[in-house]
């Protein structure tokens, strides 16, 4: 063994003679100062700016006894790095700053460990390999320019990953890949960061925020940003001036702060105006956060533009979801926003959109509060299972506007197709429940009545049990529909109980007038046989003819009894017997539990039945028959109305408010 021998590339003697730039770098590394060959990245190599990659590696690893390195580490600016800088499994004892340098080949930091900051800001390189690299400090790729992938899979970075102003011109495939990386600080893709290729951090862990403001990411094959299952303890900021051509995807991500896309432009159209397709040929979504958990709020506002589907399916949002002033530009018959199963703990704001958004799916979604305006909702609104605690702000709470909102659902969901098979009752019940709890009782009643109307028009009333024989099922259905219509006519489905009192009042007065006319015609008579059969009151019986003396003509004999032949008008009727009152009589008939002594004291004269059924049928034109039928009708109406009124008032009828 050679005494004091070292591995290849670890002694200064191996690199002599040194080039001019290398001599400067050696001297400044001993002093801990920056070696500035040029303040900008060189376009061409020359004898004065060349630094060999192997020599740079030698110094970065700590040099030797003839080339001691200051604790500030190696600091180089404006050099042309010849050959490959290969730091595979290297242990770099201090900071390494290589600024504004041009790399002939991609620097490789595979499995390297940097006891400080690794700074490659302003450099140009074909790419960068940092798989499983470990930096105690930050990894800085500010204004870094690359034409191949920057690979940071499984990297561990103690500070920030800062790619502010970087230009990654990969064209196809992935431009920046940091899957399974652990970044204890923030990730910066800002300050005019441009990536022509996908930015991917699957399953990454970020200890602070993800900042993508003032950035443009273009992907020709589907996804622009893919942060699936990433854990981001801070917020995600895709604003301001953030543009993505391709899907922004955070499926199953965990975000500890806000998700702010205010003013962002998410486009799935390429430069030719055609839709970008994924690898399997499907048109991609503009934004996908399916299954993500976001502790803060989500801001899709201030001219946020999505030229494609925004998917928030199953996303859990701990703050607000604000879409005020957003632009959802979906294709015809394509959803603009799919948020089924989403949970928003606080407010969902959907107002002042640039144009109505069609194709909004909020099925099985829950939000704490809803604030909106009618003009922002377009057609094909899916609300089945959508629940909200209250309607707040300037959002309309009147029944007309809210019913117009419900009618923006597809025709089959809203019960407008006449079939009824696809009618969704939950949105109506939910709206009525919320309005009632907010104190808008009258608007809640109007919504509930409209819901019952829609049920009837959708042929959903009177569904017979399946085991019924079809002919009986049809009869059952028709009877039920008639009953439901009468329930609306009399009580407004139980929400207008005073309407029933109005009907009862009308029937009472109408029948009273009819009874009065009939009494004037002598149809009514006392019910008591002690009066009716008493010869003393014979003058009051209908058809009464006074006795004619033998020496007189009948027409010349006047009756001495006023109202003779009519029990109602007859003044010979004893005063202690209750007189007939048409109003009291009608009230006694229509109120079955009230006894005004009219129905028990008076009754209509009933004619003898006819010999044949058809004669009896046509006898209805007779006043006495008509009065009998009217009594039956009023008595039956009174019983049914009293029962129905008691049921409505006592709350026994189910108003479908739950």
- Asked if 31 contacts 70 with a C-beta cutoff of 8 angstroms, the reply is yes
Residue 368: pLDDT band with limits 50, 70, 90:
very high
CA angle 530, 536, 539 (to 5 degrees): 110
Looking at the predicted structure, is the pLDDT value of residue 644 above 90? no
Whole-angstrom distance, CA of residue 326 vs CA of residue 82: 50
For 260-293, how does the pLDDT look when each residue is reduced to its tens digit (9 = 90+)? 999 999 998 665 556 666 666 666 789 999 999 9
Q: Which two tokens stand for residue 588?
A: 């006694």
pLDDT tens-digit map of 180-227: 999 999 999 999 999 999 999 999 999 999 999 999 999 988 899 999
What's the pLDDT at 70? 94
Q: For residue 116, what are its two tokens? A: 């400080």
Cβ of 503: how many Cβ atoms within 10 Å? 15
| C-alpha to C-alpha distance for 360 and 380, rounded to whole angstroms | 7
Burial of residue 642, with CB atoms counted within 10 A of its CB: 0-12 exposed, 13-18 middle, 19 or more buried: middle
100-133 tens-digit pLDDT: 999 999 999 999 999 999 999 999 999 999 999 9
Using H for helix, E for strand and C for coil, what is the string for 371-438?
A: EECHHHECCCEECCCCEEEEECCCCCCCHHHHHHHHCCCCHHHHCCCCCCCCCCCHHHHHHHHHHHHC
Distance CA 228, CA 65 (A): 49
The residues that bridge with 526 in the sheet, in sequence order, are 602
Asked if pLDDT for residue 613 goes beyond 70, the answer is no
Mean pLDDT of 481-491: 76
Q: Range with the lowest mean pLDDT among 161-165, 366-370, 605-609?
A: 605-609
Q: Render pLDDT for 547-564 as a digit per residue (tens, 0 to 9).
A: 555 555 545 445 566 767
Instruction: State percent of the chain over pLDDT 70.
Output: 87
The pLDDT of residue 557 is: 44
Q: CA 385, CA 383: separation in Å to the nearest integer?
A: 6
Can you give the length of the chain in residues?
Answer: 658
pLDDT at residue 254 above 90? Answer: yes
CA-nearest of 175, 111, 160, 168 to 143 is 168
Mean local confidence (pLDDT), 83-98 = 96
Adjacent-strand bridge partners of 266: 244, 306
pLDDT at 105: 96
In a 13 Å sphere around the CA of 602, the CA atoms on its Cβ side amount to 29
User: Hey, which residues does 223 pair with through a beta bridge?
Assistant: 247
450 vs 434 pLDDT, higher one = 434
Q: Rounded distance, CA 329 to CA 358, Å?
A: 9
Query: What DSSP line would sit under 499-542, residue for residue?
Result: HHHHHHHHHHHHHHHHHHHHHHTT-EEES-HHHHT-GGGGGGST
Task: Count CB neighbours of 284 within 10 A.
Answer: 22
| Predicted confidence band of residue 165 (pLDDT cuts 50, 70, 90) | very high
Residue 77's pLDDT is 97
Give the model's pLDDT for residue 502. 87
- The pLDDT of residue 491 is 77
**Model confidence pTM above 0.95:** no
Residues 392-408, mean pLDDT to the nearest whole number: 96
Residue 446 phi/psi, 5-degree rounding, is -65, -40
| Interatomic CA distance for residues 436 and 40, integer angstroms | 69
Q: How many CB atoms lie within 10 A of CB 104?
A: 14
What is the Cα–Cα distance from 151 to 593, expressed in whole angstroms? 90
* Joined tokens for residue 197: 């290729």
CA dihedral sign of residues 289, 290, 295, 301: positive
Contact 540, 567 (CB under 8 A): yes
pLDDT at 258 over 80: yes
Report whether the peptide linkage leading into residue 17 is cis, meaning its omega lies within 30 degrees of zero.
yes
3-class SS shares of the chain: helix, strand, coil, % to 5: 25, 25, 50
How many CB atoms sit inside 10 A of residue 185's CB? 19
pLDDT tens-place string over residues 17-61: 999 999 999 999 999 999 999 999 999 999 999 999 999 999 999
The residue ranking higher by pLDDT, 469 or 514, is 514
Three-state DSSP at 605 gives coil
Largest pairwise CA distance in the chain:
176
What confidence score (pLDDT) does residue 539 get?
75
Is-cis flag, bond preceding 141, omega within 30?
no
């Amino acid at each position: 063994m050679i005494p004091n021998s070292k591995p290849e590339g670890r002694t200064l003697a191996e690199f002599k003679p040194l080039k001019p730039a290398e001599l400067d770098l050696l001297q400044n590394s001993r002093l801990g100062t920056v070696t500035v060959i040029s303040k900008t990245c060189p376009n061409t190599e020359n004898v004065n700016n060349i630094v060999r990659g192997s020599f740079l590696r030698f110094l970065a690893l700590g040099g030797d006894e003839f080339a001691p390195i200051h604790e500030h580490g190696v600091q180089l600016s404006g050099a042309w790095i010849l050959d490959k800088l290969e730091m595979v499994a290297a242990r770099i004892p201090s900071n390494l700053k290589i600024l504004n340098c041009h790399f002939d080949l991609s620097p490789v930091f595979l499995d390297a460990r940097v006891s400080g900051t690794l700074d490659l800001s302003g450099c140009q390189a074909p790419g960068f390999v940092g798989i499983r690299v470990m930096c105690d400090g930050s990894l800085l790729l500010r204004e870094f320019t690359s034409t191949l992938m920057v690979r940071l899979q499984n990297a561990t970075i103690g500070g920030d990953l800062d790619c502010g102003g970087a230009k990654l011109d990969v064209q196809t495939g992935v431009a920046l890949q940091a899957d399974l990386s652990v970044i204890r600080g923030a990730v910066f893709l800002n300050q005019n960061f441009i990536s022509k290729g996908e930015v991917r951090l699957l399953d990454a862990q970020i200890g602070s925020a993800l900042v993508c403001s003032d950035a443009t990411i273009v992907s020709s094959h589907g996804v622009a940003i893919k942060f699936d299952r990433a854990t981001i303890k801070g917020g995600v900021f895709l604003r301001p001036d953030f543009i993505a051509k391709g899907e922004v995807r955070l499926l199953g991500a965990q975000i500890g702060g806000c998700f702010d896309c205010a003013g962002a432009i998410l486009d799935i159209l390429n430069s030719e105006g055609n839709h970008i397709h994924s690898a399997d040929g499907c048109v991609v979504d503009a934004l996908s956060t399916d299954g993500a958990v976001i502790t803060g709020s989500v801001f899709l506002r201030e001219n946020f533009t999505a030229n494609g589907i925004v998917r928030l399916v199953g996303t859990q949002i701990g703050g607000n979801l604000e879409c005020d002033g957003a632009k959802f530009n979906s294709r015809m018959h394509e959803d603009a926003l799919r948020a089924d199963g989403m949970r928003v703990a606080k407010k969902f704001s959907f107002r002042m959109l640039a144009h109505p958004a069609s194709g909004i799916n909020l099925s099985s979604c829950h939000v704490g509060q809803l604030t909106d305006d009618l003009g922002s909702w377009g057609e094909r609104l899916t609300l089945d299972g959508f629940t909200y605690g209250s309607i707040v702000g300037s959002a309309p709470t009147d029944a007309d506007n809210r019913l117009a909102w419900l009618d923006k659902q597809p025709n089959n969901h809203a019960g407008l197709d006449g079939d009824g098979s696809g009618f969704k009752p939950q949105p109506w019940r939910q709206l009525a429940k919320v309005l009632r709890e907010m104190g808008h009782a009258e608007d809640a009643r109007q919504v509930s009545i409209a819901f019952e109307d829609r049920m009837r028009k959708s042929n959903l009333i009177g569904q017979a049990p399946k085991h019924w024989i079809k002919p009986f099922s049809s009869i059952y259905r028709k009877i039920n529909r008639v009953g439901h219509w009468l329930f609306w006519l009399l009580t407004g489905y139980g929400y207008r109980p005073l309407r029933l009192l109005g009907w009862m009042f009308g029937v009472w007065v109408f029948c009273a007038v009819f009874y009065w006319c009939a009494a004037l015609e002598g149809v009514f008579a006392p019910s008591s046989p002690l009066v009716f059969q008493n010869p003393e009151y014979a003058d009051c019986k209908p058809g009464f003819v006074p006795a004619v003396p033998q020496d007189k003509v009948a027409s010349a004999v006047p009756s001495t009894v006023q109202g003779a032949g009519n029990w109602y008008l007859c003044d010979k009727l004893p005063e202690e017997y209750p007189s007939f009152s048409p109003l009291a009589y009608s009230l006694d008939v229509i109120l079955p539990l009230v006894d005004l002594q009219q129905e028990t004291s008076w009754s209509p004269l009933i004619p003898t039945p006819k010999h044949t059924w058809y004669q009896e049928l046509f006898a209805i034109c007779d006043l006495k028959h008509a009065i009998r039928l009217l009594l039956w009708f009023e008595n039956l109406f009174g019983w049914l109305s009293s029962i129905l009124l008691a049921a409505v008032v006592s709350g026994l009828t189910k108003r479908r408010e739950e």
